Structure 1
Amino acid sequence: MGLGDIRYEDVIAATEEFRRLGRDDFLQTYGFGRARSYEMVLDGLRYDSKAIAGVAHGHATGEFLRAGDFSGGAATVARCLRELGFAVETGETSLDRAALLERFRKLKVSRGPGHPDPSRHQPLSLLWAISREADERPRMTPWTQFRDEVGPLLVEFGLPNAKATPEYPFWHLRGSGLWEVQGIPPESAEQMPKVSILDAHHPQAGFKEEAAGLLRDPVTRLDAIATICETYLQDVDHQALFERTGLAGYTTAGNLVNPAEDESGGAAMDEHGRATGPAPRRHTTRSVIVRDEALARKVKELEGDRCQICDTALRHLDRPYSQAAHIRGLGRPHHGPDELQNLLCLCANCHVLFDGLEIYIDPDGLVRDTRGDREPHLLRRDPGHPMDEAHIAYHRNLCNLNARKPAVG
């Protein structure tokens, strides 16, 4: 039975029970959470619209619907109540960074038979969608593309023996309040559409505008990725997962590149394995970030061309040699600023370790090894060298996300 069985008097009966029990007891009794988007307004009082509709359905038919039995929203509950003459208003408060992360922590994930752990379908789908935001791709994705790209992820990184059903996160992520599905007719939206309906109507899904806007900020985006991984995907190989979901940029703080061994080809070899000619060349075109060389010289002068981590002073061609390393990387997806507060003076070795997320700076200014193999020591720093703790925290969060051991300062 659908919501069309509800009558005006059934809604009134539900509101009377709401007032008698009180909001919290009413919601708990009938298995609903607080409204995130739509509230029914009657005589100056506000009611959780989906809960009212579920209980009204019980008064009408004897079958009390719970939250998981039907979908809420403008096309279902709000439409039904408005057609009966009730006022329904948007009651959702403006989303901020803290609320966004809290919703990621409290996804309505299912637990299937034989699987005590929460399903990974929604978290994996969200990481895939976040990678689209990081790459500045369209917010909404057609069902067929979602199916073809997310489906294999569910097979590879889902729970053992769990069935890959991309249609479930495509539809049920709406329960997070961060996701929307467009293109499903109202008459097919009262419950989860069958795959045949998705195939026939070609709907699109993706983050709501407000959530997508927040995720365009690199710091918020990293926090969102970390929240999802720490809450639902602790036992997954994060580096392998990031490679597959399009988030490979989060496996390094800089621009470390490990091309495939056969990518550049090879020189011709004789029977003894020795090259018979010069190394081959390959023409490429690429976009390069323009860095402020004056800033690089400044940080080296302030630190006397000595590595701030290991205190090494190198020389090359009889001159001091050091490298200016960005704490929060300049390129995608980190988009760090090219400023003195975002620079360290490092030797080449420590620069590679820092960009490779092998070492980080803790809140007390101690340099630590992510594997815990070395004793921590204080980062050397000239008093005239300003450093932004926000950039240091960003790098530290990257290390935490990629560390084999979960606790990173």
Structure 2
Amino acid sequence: MGLDDIRYDHIIAATEEFRRLGRDAFLRTYGFGRARSYELVLDGSRYDSKAIAGVAHGYATGDFLKARDFSGGAATVARCLRELGFVVETGEPSPNRAALLARLRKLKVSRGPGSPAPSRHQPLSLLWAIARTADELPRLTSWPTFRDEVGPLLVEFGLRHARATPEYPFWYLQGSGLWEVRGIPSELAEKTPNARTFNELQPKAGFTAETADLLRDPVTRLQAIATICETYLESTERRTLFARIGLSGYTTAGDLLSSSGEEASGTTMEEYGRTTGPAPRREATRSVIVRDEALARKVKELEDNRCQICDTVLRYMNRPYSQAAHIRGLGNPHHGPDELQNLLCLCPNCHVLFDGLEIYVDSDGMVRGTGGGRDPRPLRRDPRHPMDEEHIAYHRTLCTLNARKREVG
């Protein structure tokens, strides 16, 4: 059931009943639980957003929705409320997410003789498994696949002089509480199985079902990647690592075009790299994200086509020109929502820098350069243009993740 019939006055009526009955009685009366993520904030009070939307639907149509009748979240309830002009905020990270990140910080990693640095076998294995989760692959992987894909990563990105032994993280990651191994008989599991045993029995391993479910959330997944990198892989060149491990999507915030570096086939190269003959063509089928053009026009209208970062107003064909930039990218792996609260109005230059993680918005609303050397300036905010701080924090985490990598290199 949709929420399109709800209007501003219906939300106000629902919040008034909420205050009159009290939270517990209101939720009990209409069959809702407490909000786990999104809360409506009005006049200093906080309301469970999904419950308010369900009751407001009743005021609008006579059909009071219950929790099971519709889905909540950024793309439904939060978007509806924000489009009506209300402020919707996210609550604190769930205890499960906090516990996941705490476990990642406390991996039982070994240290080689004479080396204070922790082994990278478990962190690299976890990043590889997270990449599989982002690609929606099965959470449990066969030993041969793990061995053949993780083994080379341990050689390339492990500590110098460390042996590449994929059988160790395959088995010992169980100590993190985030990982499980299936297919090893109990009598063999009492002592550490070796690679020969794995080759014979062909077990499977991967994240536990609960962990995999948590990591399907893009925000949790990014925080997990950042935690692993800052705790165990500070000196690793991350752009190369992410490209090899299947996480290259985390090196940009959007859909920046990159040069393939490939020569055009079927053409002849002259001096100075010029080609003769027509440019070649090839057939291709693509799946593209359908963006809401009305939202893009809305953010440009609210900001008068003026860049919110550098304050520039460009003109093209005697008309003002600006671009609607998503704060948290819409595509894989970010899966940001196409909503006004996830949009900025930027000039092309600032759009490229923002998507390329060269600039970010700090917690005080100042735009800074990821690598330093840029004078901070405030992000201009029109009161009519709400922006979700969670999206801004997501982009900031991406910038921090990539800045540390580049500084080391």
1:271 Cα deviation after fit: 5.7
Q: What is the TM-score when the length of structure 2 is the normalising length?
A: 0.74
Q: Matches of 1:316 and 1:298 in 2, distance apart? A: 19
**What residue in structure 2 maps to residue 280 of structure 1?**
280
SS at 2:123 equivalent: helix
**Greater radius of gyration (CA):** 1
The alpha-carbon distance between structure 1 residues 104 and 264, as it changes in their structure 2 partners (threshold 3 A), is: farther
- Greater shift, 213-222 or 308-317, is seen at 308-317
Q: Matches of 2:310 and 2:406 in 1, distance apart? A: 25
**What residue in structure 2 maps to residue 334 of structure 1?**
334
- Greater shift, 373-382 or 126-135, is seen at 373-382
**What residue in structure 2 maps to residue 152 of structure 1?**
152
Q: Matches of 1:194 and 1:123 in 2, distance apart? A: 20
1:346 Cα deviation after fit: 0.4
Task: State the percentage of identical aligned residues.
Answer: 72
2:175 matched to 1:179?
A: no
- Greater shift, 351-360 or 189-198, is seen at 189-198
Q: Matches of 2:156 and 2:368 in 1, distance apart? A: 33
Unaligned runs of 5+ in 1: 1-93
1:316 Cα deviation after fit: 1.3
1:274 Cα deviation after fit: 3.9
**What residue in structure 2 maps to residue 119 of structure 1?**
119
SS at 1:250 equivalent: helix
2:344 matched to 1:352?
A: no
SS at 1:225 equivalent: helix
1:404 Cα deviation after fit: 3.7
Which digits, 9 at most, give the CA deviation of each residue in 1:84-125, with x for residues without a partner?
xxxxxxxxxx97101100000000000121221110000000
8 Å contact from structure 1 (residues 143, 205) kept in 2:
yes
**What residue in structure 2 maps to residue 234 of structure 1?**
234
Q: Matches of 2:211 and 2:107 in 1, distance apart? A: 15
Unaligned runs of 5+ in 2: 1-93
RMSD across aligned positions (CA)? 1.7
1:278 Cα deviation after fit: 1.9
Which digits, 9 at most, give the CA deviation of each residue in 1:258-289, with x for residues without a partner?
24211643732346754322222222111000
Q: Matches of 1:263 and 1:219 in 2, distance apart? A: 38
**What residue in structure 2 maps to residue 256 of structure 1?**
256
Q: What is the TM-score when the length of structure 1 is the normalising length?
A: 0.74
2:388 matched to 1:388?
A: yes
Q: Which amino acid aligns with 1:204?
A: K
1:328 Cα deviation after fit: 0.2
SS at 1:360 equivalent: strand
**What residue in structure 1 maps to residue 379 of structure 2?**
379
The alpha-carbon distance between structure 1 residues 246 and 357, as it changes in their structure 2 partners (threshold 3 A), is: same
SS at 2:197 equivalent: helix
Q: Matches of 1:289 and 1:323 in 2, distance apart? A: 17
8 Å contact from structure 1 (residues 370, 405) kept in 2:
no
The alpha-carbon distance between structure 1 residues 406 and 287, as it changes in their structure 2 partners (threshold 3 A), is: closer
Q: Which amino acid aligns with 1:280?
A: P
The alpha-carbon distance between structure 1 residues 167 and 272, as it changes in their structure 2 partners (threshold 3 A), is: closer
The alpha-carbon distance between structure 1 residues 271 and 245, as it changes in their structure 2 partners (threshold 3 A), is: closer
8 Å contact from structure 2 (residues 123, 228) kept in 1:
yes
SS at 2:100 equivalent: helix
8 Å contact from structure 2 (residues 367, 378) kept in 1:
yes
Q: Matches of 2:251 and 2:235 in 1, distance apart? A: 17
